[in-house]
Amino acid sequence: ECADPACACPEPLPVLGRDVTVPLVTGGDVTYAALDYAASAPALQRVWDDVAAYAPYYGSVHRGAGYLSQLSTDLFEQSRATVAEFLGCRPDDQVVFTRSTTDSLNLLAAVLPAGTHVFVFETEHHAALLPWQRAKGAQVTCLPAPRTPEEAVAALDVALHGAPKGSKLVCVTGASNVTGEVWPVRRLAAAAHRHGARIVLDAAQLVPHRAVDVTELDVDWVAFSGHKLYAPFGSGVLAGRPDWLREAEPYLAGGGATRTVARRADGSVEAEWHTTVARHEAGSPNVIGAYAIASACRALTEAGFDRLAARERRLLGLLREGLAAVPGVRVLSLFGEDSERVGVLSFVVSGWNSSHLAAALSAEYGIGVRDGLFCAHPLVRHLLGAESEDLGACGSPDPGAGFNGNAVRVSFGAGTPEEHIRRCTAAVAT
Ligand code: PMP
């Protein structure tokens, strides 16, 4: 599909829904162009096939003596090991299966040592911005949006330097869900550790696009969601250092998290909790979800992140070139033109209401993008500057207005054919 005969870029990986046709308001049908991978990526066909092959055999995990329960328990634990390997975890790191990135970060917020001072940038997704405010006794410092990666590192350094002694946590995104820009994670981790702080990486938008190695990046924890990593909904991961997880109260109280439970003579109930990963996985685990994540990890590793990223860069180049040719298009960026990006790009078109534009891309061209503030209100407001002054509390579309405070986001990945990108730029140009 590449115009360059010497190009060794791989073909798109087969994903679910690639042959789905949708009706157009102008008449007829067209193949759906899924360009909203940053919200939820279509599952890889390979992941779906793996899950379908296993589904007839699934059984209760850690709770049954039967053959299928044992099989499911083995597959669940093997999936954990696959994820640990995929993330380059240290030998004593714990991989907790959760429901999503949001759940993973809320879990970490729930296990913060008392009085932890948390540092975030205002550029974070709400899932990485908000859980800390609810953590008991935590203090949160929200740093303003930096203009360059260097400024981000320097700002964090200064903030941590000025903070009083005590438990500290930094939470940063690996790649922005709005601009797609890649953050200087290794340098931020070095700054955090220089000041005795821990760091958690919100890798929701990074893991689908780049190899993430927690040992090499030297981050303490990493969080991501299965549904953005070409696996179905309902599963996520928090992986990293065991100490805070081991020492805190269990995230959920219930079966599976306890070693023993007894009624005391005074009528109260006493529980002795596990100190292993089981401590935060109370209730029957989502073995299908864990298995699907592990399958996606294997599929992406085999496809090769270097090759996937090379292809993604080419598609991003096409998208940027196509949009640059359209008068009035402004691509949103924090770090500038030459910043490293994954396949996520947001833009506004002067004189256009972004919600109307996104609706037209869907209705007239069969293209699925997202418009809005992408659960990153402070960041989008910052990027749109004065343009967003009229914005309502949620940036809700203002029908009839030229500009509605929203942006349009195009996002893609391993399953995206070049035609989808070309269709999108042609449609915006029309
Ligand atoms: N962080 C980032 C950077 C994201 O893009 C998202 C999802 N848009 C999340 C966190 C939250 O992920 P989930 O909705 O799967 O919990």
- Write the pLDDT tens digit of every residue in 364-373: 999 999 998 9
Ligand 1 midpoint to CA 102 (Å): 6
Exposed/middle/buried for 211, CB within 10 Å: 0-12, 13-18, 19+?
middle
* β-bridge partners, 330: 348
Asked whether the predicted pLDDT for residue 401 surpasses 80, the reply is no
Place of tokens 């303490």: 220
pLDDT of res. 396: 46
Ligand 1 midpoint to CA 308 (Å): 21
Residue to substitute in 205, 230, 238, 345 for testing ligand 1 pocket (most ligand atoms within 8 angstroms of CB):
205
* Banded pLDDT at 6 (limits 50, 70, 90): low
| This model's pTM is above 0.90 | yes
Q: Is the CB of 173 under 6 A from ligand 1?
A: yes
What's the rounded Cα separation, in Å, for the pair 110 and 174?
A: 22
Q: Is the CB of 204 under 6 A from ligand 1?
A: yes
* Banded pLDDT at 392 (limits 50, 70, 90): very low
What's phi and psi for 22, nearest 5 deg? -130, 150
Domain ranges in the chain are 21-42+304-429, 47-302
Q: Is the CB of 123 under 6 A from ligand 1?
A: no
Q: 139, 117 in Cβ contact below 8 A?
A: yes
Asked whether the predicted pLDDT for residue 349 surpasses 90, the reply is yes
Whether 171 is a known active-site residue: answer: no
Atom of ligand 1 nearest to the CA of 374: 8
Q: Is the CB of 177 under 6 A from ligand 1?
A: yes
Residue to substitute in 102, 108, 173, 342 for testing ligand 1 pocket (most ligand atoms within 8 angstroms of CB):
102
Instruction: For residue range 52-104, list pLDDT tens digits in order.
Output: 999 999 999 999 999 999 999 999 999 999 999 999 999 999 999 999 999 99
Residue ID of nearest Cα to ligand 1 atom 8: 39
Q: For residue 178, which of 16, 401, 17, 331 has the smallest C-alpha distance?
A: 331
Q: For residue 254, which of 234, 271, 229, 276 has the smallest C-alpha distance?
A: 271
Ligand 1 midpoint to CA 5 (Å): 37
Asked whether the predicted pLDDT for residue 5 surpasses 70, the reply is no
Q: Is the CB of 101 under 6 A from ligand 1?
A: yes
What's the rounded Cα separation, in Å, for the pair 100 and 226?
A: 7
Instruction: For residue range 108-125, list pLDDT tens digits in order.
Output: 999 999 999 999 999 999
Q: 96, 245 in Cβ contact below 8 A?
A: yes
- Helix (H, G, I), strand (E, B), or coil: what is residue 341? strand
Asked whether the predicted pLDDT for residue 33 surpasses 60, the reply is yes
* Banded pLDDT at 391 (limits 50, 70, 90): very low
* Banded pLDDT at 7 (limits 50, 70, 90): low
Instruction: For residue range 291-308, list pLDDT tens digits in order.
Output: 999 999 999 999 999 999
What's the rounded Cα separation, in Å, for the pair 313 and 328?
A: 24
pLDDT of res. 402: 54
Per CATH, the number for 21-42+304-429 is: 3.90.1150.10
pLDDT of res. 1: 58
Q: 56, 75 in Cβ contact below 8 A?
A: no
One of 171, 375, 394, 424 is an active-site residue; which one? 375
Instruction: For residue range 222-278, list pLDDT tens digits in order.
Output: 999 999 999 999 999 999 999 999 999 999 999 999 999 999 999 999 999 999 999
Place of tokens 């292993």: 276
pLDDT of res. 395: 44
Instruction: For residue range 143-197, list pLDDT tens digits in order.
Output: 999 999 999 999 999 999 999 999 999 999 999 999 999 999 999 999 999 999 9
What's the rounded Cα separation, in Å, for the pair 222 and 238?
A: 6
Atom of ligand 1 nearest to the CA of 176: 3
Q: Is the CB of 411 under 6 A from ligand 1?
A: no
* Banded pLDDT at 399 (limits 50, 70, 90): very low
Question: Which residues neighbour 85 within 8 Å (Cβ) at sequence distance 6 or greater?
Answer: 297
Asked whether the predicted pLDDT for residue 3 surpasses 70, the reply is no
Q: 359, 397 in Cβ contact below 8 A?
A: no
Q: For residue 87, which of 199, 227, 238 has the smallest C-alpha distance?
A: 238
What's the rounded Cα separation, in Å, for the pair 105 and 167?
A: 17
Q: Which CATH number fits domain 47-302: 3.40.640.10, 3.40.50.720, 2.60.40.10, 3.40.50.300?
A: 3.40.640.10
What's the rounded Cα separation, in Å, for the pair 170 and 199?
A: 5
Q: Is the CB of 210 under 6 A from ligand 1?
A: no
